[in-house]
């Protein structure tokens, strides 16, 4: 790679790399003289039925084997272009084709920036991860989540705390240094530690993390790298495999690897793709896991689209008949590799975090690991489940309540509901207790909720729209002065440390006019200052003042 190529912007680099890769794979047969075709060599992925058949094909082509995946009966052969063209007709050779490119699914058009959401890692509360019992998170330690990606910065606090197993299928070593940055972000969301007291919390509780590096610093790799990563993950005990990458076509090698994982009882989760604004072409392997035309039914895994803070499908996210469900993917918060380029992975300071590097990013790449982590929780909650059971539970417990649509599938991931469904129970929401006492026109309110770090108090007057009285406070009591002849409904909303919010039942107050008790003089309240709740100003009416005799009908009343 030349220096000039390294200095290209991220989006241009990806396009340039894809173009270079395509050129390398296709060769120059169309432009080169025929006498050069025999000497030019290219890679071909061969699916073989027997070892004898493979050796015969290699000998016939005059090539050499450069890589093998024995479990899938797949080999990569480098041989002259002309010789490779005859391999499809060799007995015991199932197929011969060029490698299929794969690339990470991060959306370069969405600017990374902090978003309002009540917490830096707003997606954690948005999927109700905060309501999952600690015992379930601990039980997930029996599950291994594999992340096949660009590697990971294993020194990042949330990853280091998990002491992940690592392997690079690129060079057969345990060195998975993540110079690109994509794999670190994905790994932190799938299985970052939630108990180390620093950084963020991954979605998989105490699940073990297996980092499989299948792409180098360019972020682009092939179906062969993908397949090798899947086989390695399965052979080393992964129950959940996250694949935050894709491409516009599939291959027999990719399909064989997926079949291998499924036959060994693993659950595959894949990003749906980021071409929602540029053609919305189906992305593979996601469209293999949840087949095209299935409308979310059946399948062998989960294809995940992305949502924004509002809960709507992110504009860049793919949509269509192969979407299983959705999860937050626009401006989500995660761990950033210290070896990555700051211009591509902007750093965001995280108050209260002593170590690590963090930031925001967007893409279905980051929706997928949230679902993969939640799958580990579901399996921790009920170890007897099969992979297809886990997938179905996650879909049916999502926010769509069993309904499907092409944007978000069965809805947004609800981790707490999925765990409860796996256990045959229901989700228990934290209670917000709001009580009050009234004396005349004055009401005193108090509220509380376990685990809350802040509260919001609202009121609806005469069944109208709710208005905020206190936007954010740590206080748990307040007193207000009301207007006679109106009704009020107060609501307290509690927010926990992760930004999850829950509201109390309304506390209702109805005041009526009284012809006997109403006095006409303004009153002054001693002691604690109170607030008038209403849309107009008037003199306060003292219900404790002596009542004056109202004039008889027709009598003349002299004003003082």
- Scanning 265-337, the segments in alpha helix (DSSP H) are 286-289
Judgement on whether residues 266 and 333 belong to the same structural domain of the protein: yes
Task: Supply φ then ψ for residue 275, to 5 degrees.
Answer: -105, 30
- Compare 5 and 457 and report the one with higher pLDDT: 457
Judgement on whether residues 187 and 311 belong to the same structural domain of the protein: yes
Q: How much is the pLDDT for 5?
A: 22
Among 98, 127, 145, the domain-final residue is 98
**Residue 4 clears pLDDT 60, i.e. is over it:** no
108 in any annotated domain: no
DSSP 212-265: EE---TT-EEEHHHHHHHHHHHHHTT-SEEEE-EEBS---HHHHHHHHHHHHTT
Q: Which of 182, 361, 368, 542 is catalytic?
A: 182
Give the least confident one: 229-238, 254-263, 286-295, 349-358: 349-358
**Do 176 and 167 touch, CB atoms closer than 8 A?**
yes
Residue 17 belongs to domain with CATH number: 3.30.70.80
Judgement on whether residues 389 and 335 belong to the same structural domain of the protein: yes
**Residue 350 clears pLDDT 60, i.e. is over it:** yes
The helix/strand/coil state of 78 is strand
Confidence of residue 21 (pLDDT cuts 50, 70, 90): very low
Judgement on whether residues 246 and 351 belong to the same structural domain of the protein: yes
In the numeric block, which tokens belong to residue 476?
Answer: 């748990």
Residue 462 belongs to domain with CATH number: 2.60.40.10
- Compare 435 and 527 and report the one with higher pLDDT: 435
Judgement on whether residues 479 and 366 belong to the same structural domain of the protein: no
Among 397, 423, 449, the domain-final residue is 423
252 in any annotated domain: yes
Judgement on whether residues 376 and 459 belong to the same structural domain of the protein: no
Judgement on whether residues 337 and 477 belong to the same structural domain of the protein: no
543 in any annotated domain: no
The helix/strand/coil state of 267 is strand
Confidence of residue 482 (pLDDT cuts 50, 70, 90): very high
182 is catalytic: yes
Q: How much is the pLDDT for 548?
A: 36
Q: How much is the pLDDT for 81?
A: 82
State how far the Cα of 146 lies from the Cα of 335, in Å rounded to an integer: 17
**Residue 536 clears pLDDT 60, i.e. is over it:** no
The whole-number average pLDDT for the span 340-358 is 89
Write out the residue range of the structural domain in which residue 355 sits.
119-423
Confidence of residue 116 (pLDDT cuts 50, 70, 90): low
542 in any annotated domain: no
Confidence of residue 514 (pLDDT cuts 50, 70, 90): low
Strand 466-473, strand 452-461: pairing: antiparallel
149 is catalytic: yes
Judgement on whether residues 82 and 171 belong to the same structural domain of the protein: no
**Do 136 and 281 touch, CB atoms closer than 8 A?**
no
**Residue 365 clears pLDDT 90, i.e. is over it:** yes
- Compare 27 and 269 and report the one with higher pLDDT: 269
The whole-number average pLDDT for the span 40-65 is 89
Q: How much is the pLDDT for 249?
A: 95
285 in any annotated domain: yes
**Per-residue buried b or exposed e for 446-480, using 16+ beta carbons within 10 Å of the residue's own CB:** bbbbeebebbbbbbbbeeeeeeebeeeeeeeebbb
Judgement on whether residues 235 and 364 belong to the same structural domain of the protein: yes
Q: Which of 44, 61, 107, 149 is catalytic?
A: 149
Report how many domains make up the chain. Answer: 3
pLDDT per residue as tens digits for the range 515-531: 544 444 444 444 444 44
Q: Which of 365, 368, 399, 458 is catalytic?
A: 365
Judgement on whether residues 180 and 266 belong to the same structural domain of the protein: yes
557 in any annotated domain: no
Strand 477-482, strand 442-448: pairing: antiparallel
Residue 194 belongs to domain with CATH number: 3.40.50.200
113 in any annotated domain: no
> In whole numbers, what is the pLDDT of the chain averaged over residues?
84
- Compare 166 and 511 and report the one with higher pLDDT: 166
pLDDT per residue as tens digits for the range 442-480: 999 999 998 888 899 999 999 999 999 998 899 999 999
- Compare 197 and 404 and report the one with higher pLDDT: 404
Among 373, 396, 423, the domain-final residue is 423
Judgement on whether residues 69 and 185 belong to the same structural domain of the protein: no
Q: How much is the pLDDT for 189?
A: 97
State how far the Cα of 74 lies from the Cα of 256, in Å rounded to an integer: 9
550 in any annotated domain: no
The whole-number average pLDDT for the span 50-57 is 90
Q: How much is the pLDDT for 512?
A: 82
Q: How much is the pLDDT for 551?
A: 39
Judgement on whether residues 246 and 129 belong to the same structural domain of the protein: yes
């Amino acid at each position: 790679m030349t220096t000039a190529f390294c200095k290209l912007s991220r989006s241009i680099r990806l396009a340039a790399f894809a173009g270079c890769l395509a050129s390398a794979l296709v060769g120059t047969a169309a432009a080169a003289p025929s006498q050069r075709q025999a000497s030019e060599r290219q890679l071909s992925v061969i699916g073989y039925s027997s070892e004898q058949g493979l050796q015969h094909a290699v000998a016939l082509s005059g090539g050499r084997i450069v890589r093998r995946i024995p479990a899938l009966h797949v080999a990569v052969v480098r041989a002259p272009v002309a010789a490779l063209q005859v391999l499809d007709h060799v007995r015991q050779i199932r197929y011969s084709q060029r490698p299929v490119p794969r690339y990470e699914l991060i959306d370069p058009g969405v600017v990374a920036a902090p978003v309002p959401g009540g917490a830096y890692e707003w997606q954690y509360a948005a999927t109700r991860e905060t309501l999952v019992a600690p015992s379930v998170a601990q039980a997930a330690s029996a599950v291994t989540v594999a992340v096949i990606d660009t590697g990971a910065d294993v020194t990042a606090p949330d990853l280091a705390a998990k002491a992940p197993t690592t392997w690079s299928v690129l060079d057969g070593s345990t060195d998975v240094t993540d110079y690109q940055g994509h794999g670190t972000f994905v790994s932190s969301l799938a299985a970052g530690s939630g108990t180390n007291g620093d950084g963020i919390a991954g979605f998989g509780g105490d699940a073990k993390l297996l980092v499989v590096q299948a792409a180098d610093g360019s972020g682009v790799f092939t179906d062969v790298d993908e397949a090798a990563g899947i086989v390695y993950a399965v052979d080393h005990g992964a129950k959940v495999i996250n694949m935050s990458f894709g491409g516009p076509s599939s291959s027999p090698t990719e399909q064989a690897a997926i079949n291998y994982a499924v036959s060994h009882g693993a659950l595959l989760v894949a990003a749906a793709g980021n071409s929602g604004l540029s053609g919305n072409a189906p992305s593979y392997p996601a469209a293999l896991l949840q087949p095209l035309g299935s409308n979310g039914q059946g399948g062998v895994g989960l294809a995940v689209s992305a949502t924004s803070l509002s809960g709507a499908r992110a504009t860049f996210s793919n949509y269509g008949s192969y979407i299983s469900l959705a999860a937050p993917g626009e401006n989500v918060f995660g761990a950033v590799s210290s070896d990555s380029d700051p211009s591509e992975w902007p750093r965001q300071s995280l108050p209260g975090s002593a170590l690590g590097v963090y930031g925001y990013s967007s893409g279905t790449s980051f929706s997928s690991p949230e679902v993969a982590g939640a799958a580990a929780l579901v399996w921790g909650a009920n170890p007897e489940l099969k992979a297809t059971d886990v997938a179905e539970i996650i879909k049916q417990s999502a926010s769509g309540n069993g309904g499907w649509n092409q944007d978000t599938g069965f809805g947004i991931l609800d981790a707490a509901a999925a765990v409860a469904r796996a256990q045959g129970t229901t989700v228990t929401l934290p209670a917000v207790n709001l009580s009050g006492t009234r004396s005349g026109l004055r009401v005193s309110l108090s509220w509380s909720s376990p685990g809350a770090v802040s509260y919001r108090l609202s009121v609806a007057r005469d069944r109208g729209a709710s208005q905020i009285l206190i936007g954010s406070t740590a206080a748990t009591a307040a007193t207000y002065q009301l207007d006679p002849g109106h009704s009020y409904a107060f609501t307290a909303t509690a927010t926990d440390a992760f930004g999850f919010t829950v509201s109390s039942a309304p506390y209702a107050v109805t005041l009526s006019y009284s012809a006997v008790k109403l006095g006409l003089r303004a009153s002054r309240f001693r002691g604690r200052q109170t607030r008038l709740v209403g849309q107009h100003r008037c003199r306060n009416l003292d219900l404790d003042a002596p009542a004056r005799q109202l004039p008889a009908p027709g009598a003349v009343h002299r004003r003082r």
